[in-house]
Every structure is written in structure tokens, then in C-alpha cells.
Amino acid sequence: MSFSPNRQFKDAIYEQFARIGKALAHPSRLELLDLLSQADRTVEALGRETGLSVASTSQHLQALKSARLVEAEKHGLYVTYRIADPLVRDLLATLRVLAEHRLAEIEHTTRRFLDGREGMESVDKAQLLERVKAGEVTVLDVRPPEEYHAGHVPGAISVPLAELEQRLATLPRDQEIVAYCRGPYCVLSIQAVELLRARGFKAVRLEDSVYDLQTRGLPIAVGRE
């Protein structure tokens, strides 16, 4: 049975579309893309963040690279990866929104995880930035420094979660503290808020990522504090 040129054309096009779908069809690859959307990273750094071995991390990155979703550059002994196009970040955001709308399991899983935890209520983003400008609230970016430098909430202080315990004495006790990290499913800010509240601070979580805020038209700062 012969195929018409029209059918061959459509099959060829959809096969290329499927390359993207196949590359995304693994939870570890989605997490790797999410991390790379925050900042460029080496294979070793990505492995530490995800709990994967360097070999497994490299294999997943190669699958993403073959679909042209990430790019790599070698510096000495290390290979640094980055997302290949800002549209990759947009794709991840759209995938998240679609999953949240269509898969009830996401809400159920999130509710079970956050149930009983204090300080997890939503924060008004625009109002937050106004309060930051007015000096009424302290905002902590608890992501690793390289992510903070790539983009952060204006006025936010870089306090990576691993350093938070040692830097408590530098934080004000007469102001509300708002912690944020990589978005609603990032646990760094959750851990930060729990630690702060356990030490007597008034703290809440901003569940949006820097990218989420940027897409809503809110300003983003780049570089050091």
C-alpha cells in the first residue's frame, strides 16, 4: 500500500513533534529542565540537585539535547548545560498549567503535603513588591546563589537554604519575612518558612517562581544584591 505525498508529509512533521514529547516523557528530565530554567548548571550540579548519579544525569541531558531542548558547552573538565530557547521555559509553564487543570491528583498531592503546615497561604504578588519598596517586609530568595544572580525579586536577599540557620541573627524580627524559591512545587521555601517559624519569626511563603512573576509583568532584578 503506497502513501500519498500529503500523508508522508504529515507523518514526517508529527514525527518531529513527537521528538519533543518523547524527550519530556520522564519526570527526571522535567525536573532537569526546571532547574536549567532557573540558571545554567554543570552535570555534577544537576546531579546533586536531583539526587541522580552523574551517569544518569548525563543520559537524561543527552535525551533533552537530542530534542534540541538544551545546549551544552565544555569548560575544562566540566560541561555546562542551559535551556536552548526561552520557549522551553514557556513550554514547561504551559505543561504545568495544563496538568494543574486536568489532573486532580496534583491538587490532592499538594494538599496532603501542605496540610497542617503554617505560613503556606498565598501572598499577593503586586502588593508584596509595594511592601518591599516601602521597607515593610523582608524577602528571602532561598535558592542557590547562581539562580539568584540569574534573576530575582527586586529587593530580595539571597539566603540559600543551606545557610539560613547560620544567618538567622542577621534577619529582622520586627518584620514579616517572605521566602520564595522555584515555584509552587519547590520545597526550599517550605523548609525555610518552617525553620523561620520554629525560631520565632513571622514567615510566609511566596509560591510563585521568578518566571511566574515576570510573566505577570512584575519587574525582575539580575545580578548581585
Catalytic residues: 181
| Distance from C-alpha of 152 to C-alpha of 65, rounded to nearest angstrom | 27
Partners of 180 in beta bridges: 141, 206
Strand 176-180 to 157-158 pairing: unpaired
Indicate the burial class of 182 (C-beta count within 10 angstroms; 0-12, 13-18, 19 or more).
Answer: buried
The H or E element containing residue 173 is none
Task: Provide the 10 A C-beta neighbour count for residue 181.
Answer: 28
| 159 DSSP assignment | -
Q: Which residues contact 1 (CB under 8 A, 6 or more apart)?
A: none
Cα–Cα distance measured from residue 1 to residue 105, given in angstroms and rounded to the nearest whole number:
44
